[in-house]
Amino acid sequence: MNNKELVEAFLEFKDEKNIDKATILAILKDVIAHALRKRNGIIKKKRDGSEPDEDNFDIIINPDRGDLDIWIYRTVVPDDKYPINEYQEIHLSDAKKIDPDVEVGEEIDEPFQLVNLGRRAIIALKQNLENRLTEFDYINLHKFFKDREGDLYTAEVHHVRHNAAYLIDDEGNELVMPRDRQIPSDRFRKGDSVKGVIEKVEMKGNKPVVIMSRTDNRFLEKLFEQEIPEVFDGLITVKRIARIPGEKAKVAVETYDDRIDPVGACVGVRGSRIHGIVRELGNENIDVINYTDNERLFIQRALGPVTVQRLELGVNEDGKKTAYVYMKPDDISKAIGKGGQNIRLASAITGYEIEIQREQDEEDVDLDEFADEIDDWVIQEFKKIGLDTALSILSKDVDDLIRRTDLEEETVYEVIGILKEEFKEDSGSDK
């Protein structure tokens, strides 16, 4: 088997790996050069035995013909010199058969056939070529997905395990969606078509692992681009997103066009535009709000349709930006939301730790002010049910207070008497 036949055999990888002929020939050249260097004596070495100055061979690629030529250079030595390195030296008589005009001390070049390396070396060469082509594939795959990080992507579920779903795209590339990148309500089966974003590409060894996510905020942003033309066209910008995947999300949007209502455009008539996004996210509740650089106003919008009586911005003991929001008792539960979701998302999207404070009436008195007359454990029982001022207790029915606390009827009446006495005294002082 000559060089051309061997090269044609090696080029069988071209279609399998989907690599152009010029690239695979360049890789093959490098692999053959490595094999030749490993061949004992085929490479010139310095006298001290260290690394060689240069190779004594040339590998010439012929991309048009789809093959390559190998030439070995040997130094001509006298016929009486023994022994010689047959890969580096050639006797004069043998050299003259190639070139009658050659003289001792000159170099002579001649074609070299790969089969001369031996069967085992050819097998090793083929294995090395496979490894290099696989490495080339991995490099290209890493670059392909690295350039698409944050992009919307669709793939088909190949198989599902308890900790991850493994997907295949149209090109046969594998993607991984770990369980914590799936929406809690996601239930995938083999063959399902799944949307997500390319979150990142990790290298494990020399193999790229593509992580796909449906919990990444960028997934929601890309769905807005897909479903809402004004976002896709850049007329509306998604400024900030905060999510509890599968439960609730807040999306802050703005527009430079005064003619456009960004919130209305995103929601659509009767929620027609947002509904498709909600379905894709497993019925995740989405609040769309107008973004503003006015931090106070933005915090109020982020909390939702509640009335804020007073708002103070500051820094807490840990050095974090904090917003102290005062509101009427009836609005507090709305601002906090189910399981604290609303206030968590409002904090996340505004960048402020939000602390909700009860706004007291001017004549009201904090329950802690009665510590000298009411035992602390009794005060704590009232606080557990959200009653921390005098008027908040006096406004409740006695039977309701007894039912909602672990206090005896006598204790409740005693507390009410103390609180009423306080207001009697205040009333008398005004006269």
- CATH number of 158's domain: 2.40.50.140
| 114, 141, 168 - which closes a domain | 141
What percent of the chain has pLDDT above 90? Answer: 47
* 183 and 259 housed in the same domain: no
Do 54 and 90 lie in one domain? The reply is yes
Provide the whole-model pTM: 0.68
pLDDT value at residue 41: 56
- Domain CATH for 337: 3.30.300.20
Residue type, 381: E
pLDDT for 404: 82
* Residues 7 and 134 occupy one common structural domain: yes
Q: Exposed, middle or buried, 395 (CB in 10 Å: 0-12/13-18/19+)?
A: exposed
Number of structural domains found in the chain: 5
Last residue of a domain, one of 213, 238, 267: 213
State whether 136 and 197 are in the same domain.
no
Among 72, 62, 141, residue whose Cα is nearest residue 110: 72
- How far apart are alpha carbons 24 and 13 in whole angstroms? 8
Q: What is the pLDDT of residue 431?
A: 37
Q: Are residues 234 and 126 in the same domain?
A: no
- Decide which of 291, 313, 338 is a domain's last residue: 291
Helix or strand or coil: residue 61? strand
| Residue 17 structure tokens | 């790996």
Residues 6+ apart with CB under 8 A from 253: 231, 236, 237, 238, 239, 262, 263, 266, 288, 289, 290, 291
Q: Note down the domain range covering 327.
A: 294-359
* Banded model confidence at residue 14, pLDDT cuts 50, 70, 90: low
Q: Could you tell me if 245 and 300 lie in one domain?
A: no
Q: Are residues 271 and 299 in the same domain?
A: no
In terms of domains, do 381 and 336 share one? no
Is 84 found in the same domain as 207? no
CATH code of the domain in which 89 resides: 3.30.1480
Question: Do 265 and 178 lie in a common domain?
Answer: no
**157 lies in the same domain as 267:** no
Work out the average pLDDT over 39-53. Answer: 55
Query: Helix crossing, 272-280 with 217-227: angle to 10°?
Result: 140
Distance CA 27, CA 49 (A): 28
Q: What is the mean pLDDT of the chain?
A: 86
For 43, the enclosing helix (H) or strand (E) is none
| Highest mean predicted confidence (pLDDT) among 18-22, 192-196, 421-425 | 192-196
